[in-house]
Amino acid sequence: MPRPALYSSSRNARRPALDAAAPIAAPTAEASADASPTASAATLPGATSISRRHLRTLWSVVLLLTVLLGTSLWLHQRPPDRKITQEDIDAAVLRTLETTTLPSAAARAVDAIAPSVVRVVGYGRSKNGKEEVERGVGTGVVIVDKGIILTNLHVVLGSDRIAITFHDGLETTANITGAQPENDLAVLQAHKVPDDLEAAPMRSTQDLRSGDQVVAVGFPFGIGPSASAGVVSGLKREFTSPEGKRQLSNLIQFDAAANPGNSGGPLVTMDGEVVGIVTAILNPTPARTFIGIGFAVPIENAASAVGMPPF
């Protein structure tokens, strides 16, 4: 009895093995007639998977090339980096100046001196001696952060009690520790001071000139702190009070508005430095209002009143 044929192991090992026990059916004539080389290839095991794998690989290559091409174009179109030049900096500063409103020189001067300006009120007794009444309102400026204050002597002279109000609202009393009648100056010591009290910066009048801008800061008619701006009108001026009781010399003349209550306040440069203590206004009428001429004691004289060395 003939034995069935066996496939040799030397054939292509990747070809699927046939079941040795299954009979090999001969192709029918109808199947042979319908089968074409293309159809046969499409129905081979693995033919579909090979085509899809090749298709995925092809699309991956196309995608990679597209990314590389896009990156190359972007790098070529990107503007090259450059260093920042002085022209760039100047242009940026100019744009900032054009679009930003800066404070005026006078406003900066007031901000610099404001923490050192105080309100000074002298109190006395009424005629019947039973009530405390306000005798005078003026201004003072802190020149030592321990609470040493300069003001005009005529503001506090004859007062039974002197009240001080600091920039932060702290109210306290003070006593007179020194006086310089020839310059109408008084030195006060506050009994309490703010923790962050600032002394005013001072500047010599040696290089002060007519026409220099100045600001007068104080409490005119008790209102304030108030500021008025003007210029130095002259130097080494003399002033005699309307009553003839006071004669002052070596004064700074200025035209920044000053009124009763400004007495004792600082005359300040645009750098925020004190060059004088406002002491008088010239007014030939009984109205006691400002007509454009004010006087200040140079800060050198004022500093000597408290024993501070000259500049």
Tens digits of residue pLDDT in 41-94: 444 444 444 456 566 666 776 676 776 666 666 555 655 566 888 888 888 888
Mean pLDDT, the chain, rounded, equals 80
Domain ranges of the chain: 110-304
For the stretch 196-253, pLDDT in tens is 999 999 999 999 999 999 999 999 999 989 999 999 999 999 998 766 677 899 999 9
- Report d(CA 282, CA 57) in Å as an integer: 101
CATH of domain 110-304: 2.40.10.120
Share of the chain above pLDDT 70, in %: 71
The better pLDDT of the pair 137, 311 is held by: 137
- Per-residue burial over 7-44, b = 16 or more CB atoms within 10 Å of its CB, e = otherwise: eeeeeeeeeeeeeeeeeeeeeeeeeeeeeeeeeeeeee
By annotation, the residues acting in catalysis are 154, 184, 263
